[in-house]
Amino acid sequence: MIQKSAPLLFLAPMEGVGDRPFRKTLASIGGFDWACTEFIRVSTTPHIPSLLKHYEPDDTAPILQAAQIMGSIPEFMAEMAVGLAAKGAPRIDLNCGCPSNTVTGKGAGSSLLKTPELLHKIAKSMVDAVSVPVTAKLRAGFSDTSLFRENLLAAEEAGIAFLTLHPRTKEDGYGPPARWDLIREAKQLLKIPVIGNGDILNVGDLLRMIEHTGCDGVMIGRGAVANPWIFQEIRAHFRGEEYRRPTGAIGQYLKMFLSHCPEEMQSKTKINKLKQLMSFMMKESEHRKTILCRTYTDEKEICELATYLAESP
Ligand SMILES: Cc1cc2nc3c(=O)[nH]c(=O)nc-3n(C[C@H](O)[C@H](O)[C@H](O)COP(=O)(O)O)c2cc1C
């Protein structure tokens, strides 16, 4: 299969890493079609108006930003979907993948993969409640893939617009390689579009995933934290060009990230956030330890050191 134009590109939801400052900064670099909030948890006793404060549709404008919600009670999920749509969410995504035990213990996230009937009921309650598209993001199963097909079909039959598959089980965590064969299986089984996700770190990985699975779009998470220019590199590839990151881009990226952090955020938190970004960006670098192990007086200090070391050969 020869792909002539870039596929639809999605920035993955990433709780704790892909926060608002990160999404805003990535949007200023651009290259992707959709952003998504990290999950917003709709608990068993939700206070919907205060939960709605977690979503601002324009964070990544002009790039569209979906809102992702996670919960296990169909009525509350529908109510939350209505609130989000009224706030301007162009799409609402159902989280069926979060592996955290505090979440799964409450029957949400990847726990939904144990009960395709409940998954169907929740997705349908959301689809019926709003006129904007509802989508779902699934792992391949809870402890194994025995209900893989049932879960996919339950989501499709509920009327979702498309589905994103991160082909690992909850038990897998992030350990073994993502099983792209399962994305191909989902694509063959379903009529709705399937977005492939998992382990894309460069243009070559993306081309291989599309070739292997026939997926309709691609979602990238950690690869975009490690390389915020990855989407621009992909676009350039499909234009037949090679992307050259502008000189000083890393320094600008870090400064932009800091400018998007709320003013009231403590210096210590900003430093930790920069350390987190640098630990992804400099995974292979000899300077990683130098940056992460040091104590800083303020965020400007780490920003300057990280910029200097990241740009040095
Ligand atoms: C730190 C972190 C937080 C995540 N938070 C979410 C989340 O809030 N919602 C969700 O659906 N997936 C979440 N994920 C899963 C990612 O969206 C994605 O499916 C996974 O990382 C595999 O894609 P990748 O290999 O491109 O990173 C998270 C992943 C990471 C690493």
Domain covering 8-238: architecture:
Alpha-Beta Barrel (3.20)
How far, in Å, CA of 132 to CA of 89, rounded? 8
Residues catalogued as catalytic? 98
Q: What residue owns the CA closest to ligand 1's atom 13? A: 14
**Which residue pairs from 20-23 have beta carbons closer than 8 angstroms and sit at least 24 positions apart in sequence?**
20/56, 20/59, 20/260, 21/257, 21/258, 21/260, 21/261, 21/273, 22/225, 22/257, 22/277, 23/59, 23/60, 23/65
Q: pTM above 0.85?
A: yes
Q: Where are the domains of the chain?
A: 8-238, 249-311
Ligand 1 site, CB within 6 A: 12-17, 38-39, 68, 95, 97-98, 137, 166, 197-200, 220-223
The rounded Å distance from CA 6 to ligand 1 centre is 22
The rounded Å distance from CA 297 to ligand 1 centre is 31
How far, in Å, CA of 26 to CA of 21, rounded? 9
The rounded Å distance from CA 98 to ligand 1 centre is 8
Q: How big is the CA angle at 11 (ends 7 and 17), to the nearest 5 degrees?
A: 160
Q: What residue owns the CA closest to ligand 1's atom 28? A: 14
For ligand 1, mutation pick of 166, 272, 280 (most atoms within 8 Å of CB): 166
pLDDT in tens, the chain (313 residues): 556 799 999 999 999 999 999 999 999 999 999 999 999 999 988 899 999 999 999 999 999 999 999 999 999 999 999 999 999 999 999 999 999 988 777 899 999 999 999 999 999 999 999 999 999 999 999 999 999 999 999 999 999 999 999 999 999 999 999 999 999 999 999 999 999 999 999 999 999 999 999 999 999 999 999 999 999 999 999 999 999 998 899 999 999 999 999 999 999 999 999 999 999 999 988 999 999 999 999 999 999 998 988 877 6
The rounded Å distance from CA 37 to ligand 1 centre is 11
